[in-house]
Copies of this chain bind each other. A is one copy, B any other.
C-alpha cells in the first residue's frame, strides 16, 4: 500500500476540512464540534489526524490528513507558532527508527505534503503566512492553495495568484516544484503537468453538499445567483490539485520528502532549535537556509508513472473499487471508470512494500 501524509495548514475558516472531504470524496469530520470564540481565546493550535483509504486505478492508497484547527485564531500568533512542531517531531521519529535495530517495518508518518491555505481576502500573503511557510519550507513540500476561490472573480483570482507568487519569490519561500515531464511521457500527462504548473497556487473550492447538474450529481455550492461546481475546471483548479496529489505527482512528493527534505534534516539543515525558530520569526536569521537546499531532487529518467485520468467532463474515478476507510457512500454513485496508461520505467505508484522508497 502506498502511504502519503498530507498536512492542511492555514487560518481557521478557510475550508480545509471541506476541501479534504471534496478531494477524497469522504466525510472525515462528521463528528466535528466547532469551538466558539471563548474556546478559541483559551486554546492553542490542536492537531486532528484522520486516515482515509482510497483506491485509485486499482492501487490502494492510504492518505493521512492532518488538520490544524485553531491556527491563526489567536490575538498573538507568536505563541501558536512556537507550539507547532509536528513536522519536526515526525522527522525525528523516523530518524530514530531508522538508526534502530529493527528498521524493516518503519511506519512512515513524515509529512509528504503541506497544503498551505491562503485567504482569498487578504491582499496577497499575510505576515503569518510568510512566517509559517518560511519556517516549514525546508522540512516539507509546501503546496500553496488559494482557499475559497468562489469569492473571487476570474480577474481577482489572476491578480491574487500573481501577487502570491511574487511574494513567495520575494521572500525566497521554497514551494514544491512540479518536475518537468519526460519526453517519453504520453501527451495527456504532459498536458496535465503543464496545467498543474500553471495553476499554482491552486485556486480551490470545496463543498460537502451535492447538487444535480445535467443529470449528474456533483459536489457544488448553491448560491441564489448560480451553482459553483467544485470539479469544473472553469470554476476552480480543484481537479488539477487532485490530479497532482493522488494521480500524477504523489510519488514525487514522497520521494522529495525522503531524498531531499529528510536528508537535509538528517544533516542538520532542517533541524531547528526553539531559539533559532524564535529568531527567524523576528527576521533575525535565515534558519540555516543555505545548508539545506544544496541537493536538487530530480526524478529518475524514464520512471514509471501512472498516467493522468480523463478530464472533468468524463467523470472522476475516485471512489471506484473497494476503497474503504471513512469514505462516505453518498458520493459513490458519481464514480465512473477512468483511463489508465503507463509508460516504461522503474518507479511506480504500485508500491506494495510500504512507503519508504528503496534507494
Q: Which residues of A contact B (CB under 8 A)?
A: 11-15, 34-38, 40-41, 73-78, 81, 119-131, 148, 150-151, 153-154, 163, 167, 170-171, 209, 221-229, 234-235, 281, 283
Q: Is the CB of B124 within 8 A of A223?
A: no
Is the beta-carbon distance between A13 and B225 smaller than 8 angstroms?
Answer: no
Given A75-B76, A75-B81, 4 other A-B contacts at CB below 8 A? A38-B171, A120-B151, A154-B224, A225-B229
Residues of B within 8 A of A126 (CB): 12, 37, 40, 73
A150 to B150, CA, bound (A): 9
**Are the CB atoms of B223 and A150 closer together than 8 Å?**
yes
Q: Cα distance A77–B123 when bound, in Å?
A: 18
CB pair A225 B224 closer than 8 Å: no
A119 to chain B, nearest CB (A): 7
Quick one: copies of this chain in the complex? Answer: 2
Q: How far is the CB of A117 from chain B (nearest CB, A)?
A: 10
Whether B76 lies near A76 (C-beta < 8 A) is yes
Q: A127-B73, A281-B75 are in contact. Are A222 and B119 (CB under 8 A)?
A: no
| B222–A225 touching, CB < 8 Å | no
Q: How far is A307 from B202 in the complex, measured between Cα atoms in Å? A: 49
Q: A14-B121, A151-B151, A235-B224 are in contact. Are A75 and B40 (CB under 8 A)?
A: no
Q: What is the CA–CA distance of A59 and B126 in the complex, to the nearest angstrom?
A: 43
Contact between A12 and B234, CB atoms less than 8 A apart: no
Chain B residues contacting A76 (CB-CB under 8 Å) are 75-78
Known: A76-B78, A225-B226, A225-B227. A13 touches B127 (CB 8 A): no
Chain B CB within 10 Å, residue with most, of A37, A120, A227, A235: A37
B122 touches A13 (CB 8 A): yes
9 contacts between A and B (CB under 8 A): A12-B122, A12-B126, A36-B167, A37-B124, A41-B283, A75-B128, A150-B223, A153-B209, A224-B234
Instruction: Kindly list chain B residues whose C-beta atoms are within 8 Å of the C-beta of A171.
Output: 37-38
